[in-house]
Structure 1
């Protein structure tokens, strides 16, 4: 869908036309900003009206290109609105600033300041999203494949991470991770694009899975135009859940598998197996029939598992090896079991089982 207009207000801006460059130039900045605070009227000079919304000017892109200054607000006005009357702020009538404030969430509501506004049709807006989606998918593909030359090509030499470290630090860290982890799986969805002449912010949901951990959250890439392309100058990832470590997640999965086995809950037990599962020539359906028969003939089952060894060489797949001690009223056995487990934390499935007996107890 295209952007929907809720309200329209008359405003006034800086006395001098053009994008702000320095303190005191009387220009209003252009770009993408966020409201980072509010100042109530009792703390403001009377000319600013009942409220001021504080913008994060200069933002990271402004700092990269040396655009400086401070105290850029959206505020009220105890005078008639006339074009180009401020020292760089955006000003509107008092009742309008109070109305506008009702739409604001601090640190989350974006403010796009442009010299002129292009009203895109729904089809034009969707085409814009498709172009950016193609860029982001190409970036993701290069990252997931470990194609560092292509991946680093998306980044500007102006790049700084959230801690202010430069592109070379970023490259060194990514190369080290490529060596450390044999594979990674990255998914992205719900892409949102905010853009102006000077920058673009692309926000999306991201999941990252590697042999050691799983993370999910929201990533924002900030791009600037360079010649005929867009390059990344900032990258921020905010987790929506704490990082999940694969070893702990697989141990919990084993406990669930063991519990379902001991309770002889065949539906829950079989639900942990992938539809492609096979063992000793048995399909999943045949395995279920076999287990149903065992469960029906057994009054009590106890399974003790040793500490698992977990290794991954294939994408999203782990070999889980452990000592298993099986006890029932009709059969006791002890041996080494290897489960091949596939998937994500919270959605693991067993692909295969290997069993080597060490002898009956």
Structure 2
């Protein structure tokens, strides 16, 4: 565990618009590793673009682009706390110390207003509840009991341009042609989403097999609390 000083946007956090000079709040992933040789001196020892806007940002109408994790110019050790156009800026020394952990498409970057420390027991309980919800969803998908499967989706669900009603109709049509389905989930990651209550995001590799279709894809699913259950509010390819 490390603790590093960072610079954020001139106007703080919760980015929502192109050019608002704010840093987004959310769960993001590194999309590229841009070495010093491919950058101007402004970005220091390297840069790691993030996938802002992510699926949840787009659902909520947030736009903009070019949010990077990067260093500082050679003549600058560190920048003031609020000095970037929205990027997260570290000293070159600090960036170099963490870059070995930043894997493209793998490493999550969680940007939050603050850090709330919780007990191991609370973390374990939250994780167990989400893991149970994911496993029940997977089992009900395999069962071809479409009503049970659709019961895992929140009333406000969307996937691309499809809302819950359209999604449900499509799934009923698809399942009518299935004799069997097998779904395997690997490399599952789970995060409670900062700044949103209660929201969680899971990312995993989905291996789907059936009598007439097989595919493997990386998927990202957002879960919201409805009553006592975690339900899916957003589902898409990652």
TM-score band, normalised by shorter chain = 0.7 to 0.9
Residue of structure 1 equivalent to 2:222: 223
Residue of structure 2 equivalent to 1:195: 192
Partner-residue secondary structure (3-state), 1:129? helix
Residue of structure 1 equivalent to 2:158: 159
For structure 2, list consecutive stretches of 5 or more residues without a partner in the other structure: none
Residue of structure 2 equivalent to 1:306: none
TM superposition score normalised by structure 1? 0.55
Q: Distance in 2 between matches of 1:13 and 1:81?
A: 9
Q: Distance in 2 between matches of 1:56 and 1:205?
A: 18
Aligned-pair CA distance for 1:190: 6.2
Q: Distance in 1 between matches of 2:54 and 2:123?
A: 26
TM superposition score normalised by structure 2? 0.80
Residue of structure 2 equivalent to 1:59: 54
Change (3 A) 1:105 1:191: closer
RMSD, aligned α-carbons: 2.9
Mapping 1:105-254, distance limit 5 Å = 105-155=103-153, 157-160=156-159, 164=160, 166-167=162-163, 170-186=167-183, 188=185, 191-197=188-194, 198=196, 199-204=199-204, 208-211=208-211, 220-225=219-224, 230-236=231-237
* Correspondence 1:37 to 2:32: yes
For structure 1, list consecutive stretches of 5 or more residues without a partner in the other structure: 238-361
Partner-residue secondary structure (3-state), 1:37? coil
Q: Distance in 2 between matches of 1:231 and 1:185?
A: 20
Residue of structure 1 equivalent to 2:17: 22
Q: Distance in 1 between matches of 2:153 and 2:80?
A: 42
C-alpha offsets along residues 164-196 of structure 1, whole Å, 9 cap, x if unaligned? Answer: 452466434422332112343445566431222
Q: Distance in 2 between matches of 1:191 and 1:123?
A: 20
Is 2:21–2:85's contact at 8 Å kept on the other side of the alignment?
A: yes
Mapping 1:335-346, distance limit 5 Å = none
